[in-house]
Amino acid sequence: MIRGLYTSAAGMVSQQVRLDVAANNLANAATPGYRADVATTAALPSLFLYRFNDALGQIPPLTVGPQPVGYLGTGAAVTQVTTLDRGGFYRQTEREMDFALQGEGFFVVAAPAGQMYTRNGAFQVNAHGELVTSEGFSVLSRTGTVARADDPDLCDNLAVVVAPADLELTKVGNSLFTAPEALLPADTPVLRGVLEEANVSPVEAMVDLIAAMRTYEAGQKAIQTQDQTLDKLVNEVAQI
């Protein structure tokens, strides 16, 4: 019975992670360049059960070995949270400081922790005429300097890089990424007056949210049922 409590609790913990991921995806459905996350769930190791002492009480006594019952699951856990690499739809904004990449790659920004990468091209202009992100990080040009809003060839001069297929990026916040090594320059065309929308389907995110919530409630109900059974075992059966 105690094992059942732990199994149910493990399932609730994994569903809580799914809830958090789905809620974050839904909250960022309108964030330009956002990449949705997906929680991958896997079963925990199973136990193989046997029955013992099946021959006790028989006359004459029989010698019978343990009888196999079958596998008992011990719950599930989230093994990893991965980021979907599919692109989002493009939306015309006609705003001069909105940019989008027509293909693979990332814009390069200078953050206090080092270079970071983003698909969110909703840039702004600071008091010095320089391009910055919504977080205030400087947007870099191909020469490594800060890109300026008055550059007549701004689209061609923005730094664009691409990550090798075997290199794993780490998401920071909602639209920034870091890499363990410098990424390679790319010739991906830059569109002006266009934004790439998040690759989140609000309908899919809502369905995932509801499914995780229902599964979480089922685990909660299982724990309540087992708790009531233990209560009867201790307070009623033990008194007989």
Three-state DSSP string of 77-89 = EEEEEEECCCCCC
Q: What are phi and psi of 170, to 5 degrees?
A: -110, 125
Q: What is the pLDDT of residue 127?
A: 94
Backbone φ, ψ for residue 169 (5° rounding): -95, 155
Query: Mean of the pLDDT values across residues 55-62?
Result: 54
pLDDT of residue 44: 85
Confidence of residue 132 (pLDDT cuts 50, 70, 90): very high
Rounded mean pLDDT of 175-202? 93
Main-chain phi, psi angles of 176, to 5 degrees: -110, 150
Residues contacting 230, CB < 8 A, separation 6+: 1
Q: What is the pTM of this model?
A: 0.79
What length is written for the chain? 240
The stretch 79-93 carries a mean pLDDT of 91
Give me the amino acid identity at 23: A
Q: What is the pLDDT of residue 238?
A: 60
Name the percent of the chain lying above pLDDT 90: 61
Mean pLDDT, residues 71-99 taken together: 89
So where are the chain's domains?
2-84+200-239, 90-196
Burial class (CB in 10 A: 0-12, 13-18, 19+), 81: middle
Residue given tokens 């409630």 in the structure block: 217
User: Which one has a higher pLDDT value, 85 or 150?
Assistant: 150
